[in-house]
């Protein structure tokens, strides 16, 4: 026998197991192996004392499904576990998760530094809607790391960006930008929808709040809208006086200080207690259940998404109809090395490419592919295509479009998990049409 002592290793569950089990105990739910759908608005109180205890946050539990719901709660815990976060709050969409995160952090007179490479709806939220609430934003190009530092003002309450920008695939240098945020005593909020926790865990690279549109890869099947914000638990809200709504007694809950009382889960507790109570963008239990079904196969799907995407990158780079290809796996992508560090399990399944012939060719391509679906979504199991300049980002004027890094020849491709040869064959049809746009459109 060896004298060598056995090295101790934690046996907490790993990613694939958590994807299937986290947040749920069957023996507390009539032995139901599947997570039950609690299709209810409200929950019985045992007595008046119990009701008061729930309202005062003295006990955990459910009151009303706008605030929390047991099925949604399983989803929240599951995503928190996968991200390595302390807590999560699910919402009706990714946009409502972003709005809720901002409103939990900021009040009128505050300022945010925001990456310029964002989904069009998010750009409009920061550029046009938040100023109506007195919250101003400065946009910085995601690769301009120093630009984030320069844009911070006295009233800046956070930095926000998409880890991989939509649709140009620019990658934020999260480790460096988080250092800048933390030196300024403010949190970094990252939308990691494109990555899912399978490809990247932003908390390991300095993010403080992670946001997902669960509608995309996490749910994965194009069936349900959902969003979530996840808290990392490391950010110290009490380090300065920038966040009085987190650190000072809150009138809405008997003088509660969220930071003192809940520490590493304070942000989520405030977002739920205040945000879900006052704004109410709650997720339906049916949609939460649908997302849970998707998460059960997240690893399996993401592997196939990524391998198909890398095949498509090679195919597009060698295609005569393609002017350029943007994907972090491409060696000359400006963020190729950063992607290796931040996305070790795969570079994602979003590809942007330029089609030769410009806008007219792009329109012909989109109108003639048959397998790939032309729609305003990403992260479906099916392959999706769109022409951003006329679709997702069509509400932008020319200058904003340019600032967002968009061009008229750009096609955004969300690679699905179909047989790769079928996707390529479909694209051949599109490219043939793009080369002869007038001829095809007259058929």
Partner 1 sequence: MKFKVNNNEVYASTGGRPFDKKKPLIIFVHGSGLTHMTWVLQTRYFAFHGYNALAIDLPGHGLSGGESLKSIEEMADWVAAVIDAVGHKEASLVGHSQGCLVTVECTARYPNKIKTLSLMGGAGAIPMNPQLLSLAESNDPKAVDLMMDWAHGPAGHFGGHPVPGLYHINTGTMLAKSRTIQNTLGVDFRACDNYKNGFEAAKKVKCPTLSILATDDKMCPVKEGKKLASLIEGSQVDIIDNCGHMMLLEEADRVLTVLKKFITTNYPPLSS
Q: Interface with partner 1 by CB under 8 A: which residues?
A: 5, 7-13, 21-25, 27-28, 52-53, 56-62, 68-70, 72-74, 76-78, 80-81, 84-90, 232-234, 238, 253-256, 260-265, 268-269, 272
Least distance (Å) between residue 121 CB and partner 1: 25
Cβ closest to partner 1, residue 72 vs residue 207: 72
Helix, strand, coil percentages (3-state) for the chain, rounded to 5, are 45, 15, 40
Of the pair 68, 329, the CB lying nearest partner 1 is at: 68
The least distance separating partner 1 from the CB of residue 333, rounded to whole angstroms, comes to: 33
Min. distance of Cβ 100 from partner 1 in angstroms?
13
Query: How far apart, in whole angstroms, are the C-alpha atoms of residue 72 and residue 221?
Result: 18
Q: How many CA atoms lie within 13 A of 320 on its CB side?
A: 4
Residue placing its CB nearer to partner 1 in the complex, 83 or 191: 83
Q: How far is CA 7 from CA 1, 29, 279, 298, 335, in A?
A: 16, 37, 50, 31, 38
Min separation Cβ 273 and partner 1, Å:
11
Spatial CB neighbours of 125, under 8 Å, sequence gap ≥ 6: 95, 98, 99
Distance CA 171, CA 191 (A): 12
Shortest distance, CB of residue 220 to partner 1, whole angstroms? 22
**Main-chain phi, psi angles of 355, to 5 degrees:** -100, 135
Given a contact cutoff of 8 angstroms between Cβ atoms, the answer to whether 165 and 118 are in contact is yes
Collect all residues with Cβ–Cβ distance below 8 Å to 417 and sequence separation of at least 6.
301, 304, 305, 308, 381
CB of 86 to partner 1, least distance (A): 4
Taking the complex as a whole, the smallest distance from the CB of residue 209 to partner 1 amounts, in Å, to: 14
Q: Which is nearer to partner 1, 77 or 144 (CB)?
A: 77
DSSP string of 284-305, one letter each residue: PHHHHHHHHHHHHTHHHHHHHH
Tell me how crowded residue 366 is: count the other CB atoms within 10 A of its CB.
Answer: 20
């Amino acid at each position: 026998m060896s004298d060598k002592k056995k090295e101790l290793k934690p046996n907490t569950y790993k990613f694939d197991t958590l994807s299937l089990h986290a947040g749920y105990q069957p023996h507390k739910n009539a032995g139901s192996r599947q997570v039950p759908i609690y299709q209810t608005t409200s929950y019985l109180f045992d007595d008046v004392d119990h009701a008061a205890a729930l309202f005062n946050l003295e006990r955990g539990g459910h009151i009303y499904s706008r605030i929390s719901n047991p099925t949604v709660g399983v989803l929240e815990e599951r995503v928190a576990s996968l991200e390595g976060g302390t807590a999560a709050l699910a919402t009706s969409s990714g946009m409502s998760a972003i709005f809720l995160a901002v409103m939990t952090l900021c009040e009128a007179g505050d300022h945010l530094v925001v990456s310029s490479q964002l989904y069009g709806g998010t750009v409009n939220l920061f550029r046009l809607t938040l100023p109506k609430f007195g919250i101003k934003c400065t946009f910085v190009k995601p690769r301009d790391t120093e630009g984030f530092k320069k844009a911070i003002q006295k009233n800046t309450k956070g930095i926000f960006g998409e880890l991989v920008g939509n649709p140009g695939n620019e990658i934020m240098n999260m480790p460096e930008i988080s250092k800048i945020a933390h030196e300024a005593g403010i949190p970094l909020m990252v939308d990691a929808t494109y990555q899912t926790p399978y490809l990247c865990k932003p908390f390991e690279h300095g993010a403080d709040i992670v946001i997902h549109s669960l509608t995309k890869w996490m749910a994965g099947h194009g069936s349900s809208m959902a969003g979530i914000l996840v808290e990392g638990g490391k950010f110290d809200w009490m380090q300065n006086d920038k966040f009085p709504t987190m650190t000072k007694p809150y009138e809405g809950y008997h003088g509660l200080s969220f930071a003192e009382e809940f520490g590493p889960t304070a942000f989520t507790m405030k977002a739920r207690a205040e945000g879900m109570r006052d704004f109410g963008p709650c997720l339906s239990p049916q949609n939460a259940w649908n997302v849970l079904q998707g998460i059960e196969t997240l690893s399996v799907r993401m592997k196939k998404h990524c391998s198909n995407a890398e095949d498509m990158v090679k195919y597009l780079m060698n295609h005569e109809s393609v002017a350029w290809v943007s994907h972090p796996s491409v060696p000359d992508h400006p963020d190729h090395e950063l992607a290796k560090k931040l996305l070790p399990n795969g570079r994602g399944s979003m590809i942007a490419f330029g089609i030769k012939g410009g806008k007219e060719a792009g329109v012909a391509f989109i109108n003639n592919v048959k397998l790939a679906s032309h729609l305003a979504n990403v992260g479906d199991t099916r392959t999706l295509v769109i022409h951003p300049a006329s679709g997702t980002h069509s509400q932008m004027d020319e200058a904003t479009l340019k600032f967002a890094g968009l061009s008229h020849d750009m096609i955004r491709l969300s690679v699905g998990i179909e047989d790769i040869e079928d996707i390529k064959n479909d694209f051949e049809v599109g490219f043939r049409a793009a080369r002869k746009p007038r001829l095809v459109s007259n058929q």
